Homo-oligomer: A and B are copies of this chain.
Amino acid sequence: MDGRIKFRHLQTFIEVARQKSVGRAAEALALTQPAVTRTIRELEDYLGVDLFEKEGRGIRISRFGEVFLRHAGESIGAVKRGVDSIAQARNSMGPPLRIGALPTASATFLPDVMVDFLKAGTGSLVTIVTGENRWLLDALRLGDLDLVVGRLAAPERMTGLQFEPLYSEEIGFAVRAGHPLLSRRNFSLSELAHYIVLMPTQGSVIRPFVDRFLLTNGIADLSNTIETVSDSFGRAFVERHDAVWIISRGVVFPEIQSGRIALLDIDSSETRGAVGLTMRADAAPTLSLSIMVNTIREHLKVAGRVL
């Protein structure tokens, strides 16, 4: 790569591409028009191609510009994220432990595990974040998280990561206690269409399992669906309406115990999948991370959980 390329060149290039005008870009960047022109000229010189073409009395991005634009955006985006990550890391002083939790974990064993872990007295600060699977795994890969607890993601999303299974669970069809479908003996899956159905969002780990299950059972499209990852929303909604909530069984485990929510009697063995710990494959684990991992293992050995 040509060492003369500076971030300034990328910034300017991106701005011109966005504004489709040298003049406006100059204004946006608080520079004069010739300064912008020259910066673009330099970048074109370094790259050996024209990034823009003249069109009338304006400009238009060239095919080279088009391809370079995406990479340029990637590049400055990466640094921005890097700076942000550091800012975040600085706020949480100490040797911090950052855990990404998928819903099935955060609703079940994770709270108990945390108690045990804090008792172990490592003195480390622990952060627990929730979010979409894709985002969590990216953060893990980039070192912004140390551990992700939840369902095993699709294999192609796991490069550079390692997975340690803890137990396996199925997806369940959760409804409020006293729901009409509960009293029916042999109901058909197609009857789901009569109710509002809460689905996991597209980005979630379990969504492909759900899609596949529905397809396999000939359910083409459910019209009344709400996509949500918020389990607090799901819980509240299902308890108040006759909706059906398609969700990891672990998420509603406490409510099933207490009898407020029940599962429809559906054979969902096809949706069984492993729940466990996802970590970076490369780096050696921190001390506190090892302790956390051990605590989780121990806890589940005692609880002996199967869903």
Contact = CB atoms under 8 A, between A and B. Distances in A.
Interface of A: 1-3, 5-8, 10, 47-49, 63-64, 66-72, 74-83, 85-86, 89-90, 95, 133-134, 141-144, 154-157, 159, 202-203, 207-208, 211-212, 216, 270, 283
Given A85-B67, A89-B63, A134-B156, A75 B78 contact: yes
Contact of A47 (B1, B77, B86): B86
11 contacts: A1-B79, A2-B83, A63-B95, A67-B143, A70-B142, A70-B143, A71-B78, A74-B81, A75-B79, A75-B82, A212-B212
B79 A71 contact: yes
Nearest to A283: B66
A63 B289 CA distance: 14
Copies of this protein chain in the complex: 2
A79 B155 contact: no
Contacts of A95: 63
B156 A157 contact: yes
Contacts of A141: 70
A253 B110 CA distance: 51
Most buried by B among A79, A134, A155, A202: A79
Per CB-CB distance, the 3 closest pairs between chain A and chain B, nearest first, are A71-B82, A74-B78, A75-B78
Contacts of A2: 83
Nearest to A144: B67
Contacts of A82: 67-68, 70-72, 74-75
A55 to B, nearest CB: 15
A30 to B, nearest CB: 12
Contacts of A64: 86, 89-90
A76 B79 CA distance: 9
A69 B143 CA distance: 9
Given A66-B143, A143-B66, A143-B70, A80 B1 contact: yes
Contact of A68 (B71, B74, B86, B154): B86
A7 B5 contact: yes
